[in-house]
Each structure stands twice: as structure tokens, then as C-alpha cells.
Amino acid sequence: MTIPSSPFTFATRPSALARWQTDYVAQLLRQAHPSLDIRIEVIVTKGDRILDKPLPVIGGKGLFTAELERALHEGRVDAAVHSLKDLPVEDAPGLAIGLTPPRADVRDVLICPAGHTLDDLPAGAVVGTSSPRRQAQLLARRPDLVVKSIRGNVDTRIRKAREGQYDAIVLAAAGVTRLGLEDAITQYLPLDVMLPAPAQGVLGVQCRADDQRALSLLAAVEDPDARASARAERAFLAGLGGGCSIPVAAYAHPGEEGLHLTGLVASPDGRRTLRVEATGDEPVALGRALAEEALARGAAALMSAQ
């Protein structure tokens, strides 16, 4: 294709991880389109400004995305790079996911300065996470742990653990490894212990839905498997009617018989969990069908339990 001479501008949040993710996508685009003039604009979001409250308490959709989406609507930028799990399951009006690049490690990791694995942590150990999904699965495995909220970017959370504010913390492997902080990882948590958030490890690059130039440029580095898996997982979440404030997990991957999707719904205290699985060819239909099965088996009562 003919590359337009006008610059292509990405919006990014100011955190080190957000910058890394945007730089990574920009580099993929440069490799596909060497003559493209790529620029990056840093935008601070509500989620970046409010650091003293747990994420579910702050509430509201688009906590880390609204300001970036506004810049897209206003035409100040051409694309915005997000962790796809941070985006609401419904596309923002007028915007689309123009690119899902190859997926990173989907697992969560335990970081424990004393070197304990999840099963070896002492009774009453304090584990930091702001995710209801992680809390429920931690307590399902270890009901004797104390789970406390933690905020801050990846390196801030690791620092808090090293300072002794928490005995251990749980983070997404993708974020830790993207920042080159693998040495801090004590344990990669198995998927049968800690199923990931829908679309964990997947980047979602937003652009205007009618911006044919952006859609065309971004399509050159698309990963169809990453998109299909993320669509199935997010359809499962959408079918349950929730966002990041409910204890729901999902993981899809291509298999010999089609796309295999595993979903999990839990009570916040981890005492009750429901795991469902299915295989199908169409990602959204697969996710919706599995959500319907989960609801038929009592998922709504689990999610609303206190």
C-alpha cells in the first residue's frame, strides 16, 4: 500500500508498562511500514491520577481509557494502545479495535521476596491484589491467606512487596516480563490454580471505526489467533454482564477441534467456584454460549455473593 506522508500518532498512558506497550506496537508498525512517520503522545487518565483507592471503589467504565478515547474522537491521535483487559467489553461508540498483535504469556505470577510459592506461604500471610478475580482464586486455594488491596504500577507494587508492606503480590506475567523484571518472579501460577482475566496478555489498539487509513496500516501486523481468543473470552464476560469488578476469569486457545474456551466464576471469598469449558469455531458465539451455561449453573448467585 502507499504510505501517506502525514504522521501517525499513538496515544499512551504515562506508566512504564503503557509506554513499553505503545513502543512495541509502534516498532511492529515501523517494521511493516518503514517509511511511516510515527509519533507518540502521552495522556494521563483518571486511573493514573487516583492512586489511593482500590480500583473497584473508584468504579466507572474506562478508568484508564476515557481520556485516550477522547483524543481519538477529537482527531488529535490516530490510535491508542491498551491492555485489552482494561477496555469495556463493548466498543466505544465510533471506535474499533484495529489491531490485536501476538499475545504474551497469559498467566499470573506470584512475587514473594521471602521466596515462598503460593502453597508454601505461611498461614495469615498478606497477599496484595486489587483484582476480585485473583482474590477469589487465591482464597479458593488458600483460604487462610489475608488478601489486601494494592495500587500502583508494576514496579511500585514490586517495591511495596520488597519493603515488607505485603508478604507477596500477584501480577500479570505479561506486564512483569515486558518490563524486564522477571528476576522478581517467584512462581508462575498454573492455569488450574489461577485462570487469567479475559484478554490478559493481549494488547488492543483502538482507532476510529471509519478511519480506513489507520485500519489498513494496523492490519499488517494483526494476529488472528490473539483476536479470536480475546473475542471469545470477552464474549464470555459480556454474557455474564460484568466488567473487571466481578470475579470472572477466562482463557481461550486454538486446538485441533477449534477454539477451546475455559471460563470461571467465583464468589468473592473463593468458597464457591464454577468452571465451565467448551469448544467452537465462532469466538463470540462460543463465549456467549459458555456464559449461558454458567448462568444456568448458578453463576449470577456466585458473582453477587458477599
Say whether pLDDT at 257 is over 60: yes
Say whether pLDDT at 5 is over 80: no
- Catalytically active residues, by annotation: 86
- Model confidence pLDDT, tens digit, residues 193-220: 999 999 999 999 999 999 999 999 999 9
Predicted confidence band of residue 152 (pLDDT cuts 50, 70, 90): confident
User: Which of 279 and 304 is assigned the larger pLDDT?
Assistant: 279
Least confident segment among 47-56, 96-105, 184-193: 47-56
Cα distance between residue 129 and residue 54, in whole Å? 9
Q: Which contacts of 288-297 are long-range, i.e. CB under 8 A and separated by 24 or more positions?
A: 288/235, 288/236, 288/238, 288/239, 290/236, 290/239, 290/261, 290/263, 291/235, 291/236, 291/237, 291/238, 291/239, 291/240, 291/263, 292/239, 294/236, 294/239, 294/240, 294/263, 294/265, 295/239, 295/240
Say whether pLDDT at 254 is over 50: yes
Cα distance between residue 279 and residue 229, in whole Å? 12
> How many angstroms separate the Cα of 117 from the Cα of each of 122, 134, 164, 187?
10, 15, 16, 6
Cα distance between residue 132 and residue 140, in whole Å? 12
3-state SS, residue 199? coil
Cα distance between residue 128 and residue 21, in whole Å? 24
Predicted confidence band of residue 95 (pLDDT cuts 50, 70, 90): very high
Q: What is the pLDDT of residue 276?
A: 98
Q: What is the pLDDT of residue 58?
A: 46
Q: What is the pLDDT of residue 306?
A: 54
Asked whether 93 and 206 are in contact (CB, 8 A), the reply is no
**What structural domains and CATH numbers belong to the chain?**
8-101+202-222 (3.40.190.10), 108-188 (3.40.190.10), 233-304 (3.30.160.40)
Q: Which residues contact 253 (CB under 8 A, 6 or more apart)?
A: 225, 229, 259, 260
Report which residue type is found at 11. A
Q: What is the pLDDT of residue 43?
A: 93
Q: Which residues contact 230 (CB under 8 A, 6 or more apart)?
A: 84, 100, 103, 198, 199, 202, 204, 252
CA atoms within 13 A on the CB side of 34: 0
Say whether pLDDT at 61 is over 80: no
Q: What is the pLDDT of residue 198?
A: 96
Q: What is the pLDDT of residue 302?
A: 87
Say whether pLDDT at 223 is over 70: yes
Share of the chain above pLDDT 70, in %: 91
Q: What is the overall mean pLDDT for the chain?
A: 92
Say whether pLDDT at 163 is over 50: yes
Q: What is the pLDDT of residue 42?
A: 95
Q: Is the pTM of this model over 0.85?
A: yes
User: Which of 230 and 54 is assigned the larger pLDDT?
Assistant: 230
